[in-house]
Amino acid sequence: MYHGERDCRGGGYVALHNGECRLARKFLYLVVVLIVIALATTFAFRFWGAELLRQALVPSVQVAALPPPGSYARAEMWIARPDKPGNPALWTPAGHSPAANPEAAVFFIHPTSFLERTRWNAPLDNAEANARAELFLRGQASAFNAVGAIWAPRYRQATFGAFLTSKEEAHKAIDFAYRDVLAAFEQFLVEAGDRPIILAGHSQGALHLSRLLAERIAGTRIEKRIVAAYVVGWPVSITADLPRMGLPACATADQAGCILSWQSFGEPADTGLITDAFDASTGFTGLPRKGTAFVCTNPITGKANDTAPAQANLGALLPTKDLTNATLEPGRVPARCAGRGFLLIGTNPPDLGPYVLPGNNYHVFDYSLFWANIRKDAERRLAAFSNK
C-alpha cells in the first residue's frame, strides 16, 4: 500500500514496493472512472434531459432470471477479505495505516460499478465493473481499516440504468442483486465469529444495506452486535423507513448501535432528482415516503442534524493535481444538515469540475470528503460499543 512519503516515480524501488506504487497510480484510473460517470450523467442531463438519459442508460432487454448465488465460502466471491492478497480496502493515504489486529469485522457493500445497458445485472466476472469496484473500496471502505477487518462481496449488482426507471425489470434486477448481498452476509457472519460488526455501504450498496437491516437484522441477535451502520448516499426516511430498520438514527458522536446517513450537496443545491423518485416510493413501514424527512448525520461531528465549520474537517480525501495519487486535505469542507435532511457543504467546496453531478450533487464524494472524520467516528463508536 502507499504510505508515508514514498515516491512511485523513481526507479529505485525494490520488488516489495511495486504493488504499493501500482495502487498509488491507480488513483488515476479512479479519477477517470468518476469523470466518465459524471460526464455521462451531467452533460447528458443538461443537454438532452432526463428522458433521453434514460434511453441512453436503461437496458431495453428483458431481465435475465439469475440462478442462486454461488458459495461465498469461496475466496473469489469477495473483492476484499482479510486474507486476500492485494486487498484494496487496506489502502491508506500518507500518515495512516490499517490496524494490524483489528477488533471489529466490517461488511461493506460497494456502489454501482456496472454501467452497461446490455443487461440488467453485472456478471461476476465483468473485468471493468470489478476494477471500478476495487477503486471505490480504496476511497470508501478504507476509512474503516483502522478498526475492522473488511469484507466486501462481489455481487451481481443492478446496472446504473436500473436507478433511472420505474420499469418492473429494474425492480427485479435490484432484487437479484440483494439476493447475492444477503448470501454474502450470511457467510460474513460465519467468518466474523463473535467480533463486533460495522456495516457500511454507498449508493446501491446503501440501498441493499437498508434492506438488510430491515429484513435480516432487525429484531435478531445480530442487532445487538452492530457497532454502527453507515447507510451513505441513499435516503432513509425517518418515519417511513427507520422504524423497521431495528437501529435508531445516531444522535450523538459517542453512540453505538445506530444508523448514520447523509447525502452531500454543494450550494445552491437542486435535490429534485432525489426527492422526485423517493417521494413516489413506499417505505419499509408501508407508509409513503412523500414529503418525509431523511436521517442526516453530520459526518464531521457524528451528530444528527448538526452544523460544523470547515476547520473541524480532519481531512477530505482528494486527488492531487497530477491525478496520480490522493491526499488528505484538512479544513476544506464544512457540512450542515438542512431542509428535509440533505448535507450541505457550502458555496465553495473543492473544485472537482466534472465530478459533480447535476444539482451540485457531490454523491460520488460522500465518503471521501469526510474520510478522516469517518475514520475517527468508527473508532469512537467502537470504543463506546466495547465499553457498554
Q: Look at residue 297 in the predicted model and tell me its pLDDT.
A: 98
Q: Look at residue 320 in the predicted model and tell me its pLDDT.
A: 61
The label of the residue with cell 459526518 reads 299
Is residue 322's pLDDT more than 60?
no
> What cell numbers appear for 80 in the block?
476484499
Q: Look at residue 382 in the predicted model and tell me its pLDDT.
A: 98
pLDDT one-digit tens code per residue, 351-371: 766 667 888 999 989 999 999
pLDDT top residue among 234 and 27: 234
pLDDT one-digit tens code per residue, 48-78: 445 555 666 788 888 889 999 999 999 999 9
**Mean pLDDT, the chain, as a whole number?**
87
Is-cis flag, bond preceding 111, omega within 30? no
Q: Look at residue 356 in the predicted model and tell me its pLDDT.
A: 76
Written as one string, the DSSP assignment of 131-171 is: HHHHHHHHHTGGGGTTTEEEEEE---PBPGGGGG---HHHH
Is residue 212's pLDDT more than 50?
yes
pLDDT one-digit tens code per residue, 225-272: 999 999 999 999 999 999 999 999 999 999 999 999 999 999 999 998
Banded pLDDT at 35 (limits 50, 70, 90) = very low
Is residue 190's pLDDT more than 90?
yes
Positive or negative torsion for Cα 256, 299, 92, 6:
negative
Q: Look at residue 114 in the predicted model and tell me its pLDDT.
A: 93
pLDDT top residue among 5 and 98: 98
Q: Look at residue 388 in the predicted model and tell me its pLDDT.
A: 80
The structure's pTM equals 0.88
Q: How far is CA 318 from CA 42, 80, 162, 309, 372, in A?
A: 20, 22, 29, 18, 12
Pairing of strands 197-202, 303-304: unpaired
SS3 329: strand
pLDDT one-digit tens code per residue, 284-321: 999 999 999 999 999 999 999 999 999 999 999 987 65
Asked if residues 233 and 243 have their Cβ atoms less than 8 Å apart, the reply is no
Q: Look at residue 325 in the predicted model and tell me its pLDDT.
A: 66
